[in-house]
Structure 1
Amino acid sequence: MIGPRRIVCLTEEPTETLYALGEQDRIVGISGFTVRPAQARKEKPKVSAFTSAKIGEILKLKPDFVIGFSDIQADIAAELIRRGVEVWIANHRSVDDILAYIRRLGALVGVGDKADACADDLQRGLDDIAAQAARLSHHPKVYFEEWDDPLITGIRWVSELIEIAGGIETFPERARESLAKQRILEDSDEVIRRAPDIIIGSWCGKKFRPERVASRAGWNDIPAVRDGELHEIKSPLILQPGPAALTDGVRELARIIQAWSAKRSEGWPSGQTVPP
């Protein structure tokens, strides 16, 4: 076996990627937030959250490689490094970054060819969705809400997937920011002013409540609220920078956007919700 043999994954995307590459036997520990693939939750020890980890439990697993994500896991990484563990903290934020991450991870474990094939297949899927989007007669403005208190707009890869699926990102300047605190909307009236046609909630780790969104002061004037276009995409499908976002996540975006466009093409009156 080439490369690390005992890997701990502090977030879901390396776990999902390694399973997709057929290298799951290398994984000895995973994040407690992992839901994809479901098999991983059944057979791998859970040793971390997102901002914390059971350092002692990780060390008992004798990992030769630990994979994490972003500056938020810097303290976990530092403690493991001090204990002599090799750690890789990726910081991929865009669709292209996610594809490159899959290729790099595959190369690190000695299956670069399989990783390249996986990334190429994901790219083809994105190209197919983009081709469908190009044929839409109407393109909605989409507001993606990652958190509700405070309001946090979508991260860069989500913004890019919205555009691939045929939508128009409502806060493109926020999406380019790398830190969540830079995507906080200090003034919720800014959403009213930008008048999105669709609102998508993905409140990381908790259920989206469209009725709460609709009841916000002044938001009844937003086209999305007026027309009943408030949707949820579960956070495991879209808010982890791995294969899920580029498959199920973007397909959910495309489904919502295509349905909205079809209603407009059929001349459905604004302000009236189409029955499901």
Structure 2
Amino acid sequence: MSKRIVALEPSIAAIFVALGQGAKLVAVSEHCSHLADVAHLPRTPSSWSIRAEDLASYRPDLVIASAPYRQESITALLAARLDVLCLAPESLADVYRHIDLVGRITGATDRAQKLIAAMHQEFDVIRQNLMGRLRPRVYVEMWPKPAMNAMPWVAELVELAGGEFVPLPPGRSVTDAEIQAADPQLIVLAWAGAAQINPEVVYRRPGWRELAAVRTRRVVTVDEMLLNSPGPNLVEGARRLAEVIHSFEKR
């Protein structure tokens, strides 16, 4: 059983904390400032830019990375004879599998199954509370230049929170023409790595002024860690999406 683990992404660290296994972490990603339970741990670069020398002093017996990562970075870790586990989640099903995997790695299988069951239950409650209501077209943007719509698991969250995710498919660059054709009624900004986002940026975009969401000034921001980090925090992300989608009906 691994006892000295480095988590290169916030989602991985969050899973360890949720399973009560934070003590097995010896270092975490520099992007974990929102996780109070690992605030005392040393910080490392992320999966994208990590180097073997960044990890030498921690003597990890397992390094867990998650997409997006550079093949060159991971190859360098392997060349340094480090054991590396790479995750590439796309769907909520993948998130559940990874929680189960961390549970098995740490000997916390029961806790992992309870966490997965609790997430299912919370999502079901959100879905049931919004049944029969209007389903506005929702565009979730995770990066502005070039514009990219959110990952597939976010599309699932939008649907269960009472919206219609547009444009499909998720997790890719989108053109102005695609956005115009989809004509979202609500735009959610959750830019990766952005501490603050000004919705006025969207209102000023050329070619976007005739979008329903822009004409009615329905552009909102959501903490990107609630949506872009595929872990237990997605429950709170779904609640936040449900709030902003439900508020659409009240205006």
Both structures adopt the same fold (TM-score exceeding 0.5): yes
**RMSD of aligned alpha carbons:** 1.4
Q: Deviations over 1:144-169 (max 9, x none)?
A: 11111111111101111000101001
Number of aligned residue pairs? 250
Partner of 1:34: 32
Structure 1 runs, 4 residues or longer, greater than 3 Å off: none
Query: CA separation in 1, counterparts of 2:40 and 2:51?
Result: 18
SS of 1:28 mapped into structure 2 = strand
Q: Deviations over 1:155-188 (max 9, x none)?
A: 1011110001010011222x1x5xxxxx112x31
Amino acid corresponding to residue 9 of structure 2 in structure 1: T
Amino acid corresponding to residue 143 of structure 1 in structure 2: Y
Structure with greater proportional helix content: 1
Query: CA separation in 2, counterparts of 1:142 and 1:123?
Result: 23
Amino acid corresponding to residue 208 of structure 1 in structure 2: I
Partner of 1:81: 78
Partner of 2:176: 188
Over 3 Å counting, the alpha-carbon distance change for 1:17 and 1:252 in structure 2 is same
Q: TM-score, normalised by structure 2?
A: 0.95
Amino acid corresponding to residue 203 of structure 2 in structure 1: A
Amino acid corresponding to residue 204 of structure 2 in structure 1: S
Query: CA separation in 1, counterparts of 2:178 and 2:81?
Result: 48
Q: TM-score, normalised by structure 1?
A: 0.87
Partner of 2:9: 11
From 190, 196, 218, the counterpart of 1:202: 190
Residue pair 1:16, 1:36 contacting (<8 A) in 2 also:
no
From 57, 62, 66, the counterpart of 2:59: 62
Q: Give unpaired runs (5+ residues) of structure 1.
A: 178-182, 264-273
Partner of 1:102: 99
Structure 1 residue 76: deviation in Å?
2.4
Q: Name which one, 1 or 2, has greater alpha-carbon Rg.
A: 1
From 69, 72, 77, the counterpart of 1:72: 69
Amino acid corresponding to residue 226 of structure 1 in structure 2: R
Give identity over the alignment, percent: 26
Structure 1 residue 55: deviation in Å?
2.4
Query: CA separation in 1, counterparts of 2:107 and 2:73?
Result: 26
Q: Deviations over 1:80-114 (max 9, x none)?
A: 11111111001111011111110111011111111
1:162 and 2:147 equivalent? no
SS of 1:219 mapped into structure 2 = coil
SS of 1:231 mapped into structure 2 = strand
Partner of 1:249: 237
Structure 1 residue 189: deviation in Å?
2.9
1:123-138 mapped onto 2 (5 Å cutoff): 123-136=120-133, 138=134
From 120, 129, 145, the counterpart of 2:141: 145
Query: CA separation in 2, counterparts of 1:61 and 1:203?
Result: 31
Residue pair 2:2, 2:106 contacting (<8 A) in 1 also:
yes
Q: Give unpaired runs (5+ residues) of structure 2.
A: none
Query: CA separation in 2, counterparts of 1:248 and 1:172?
Result: 24
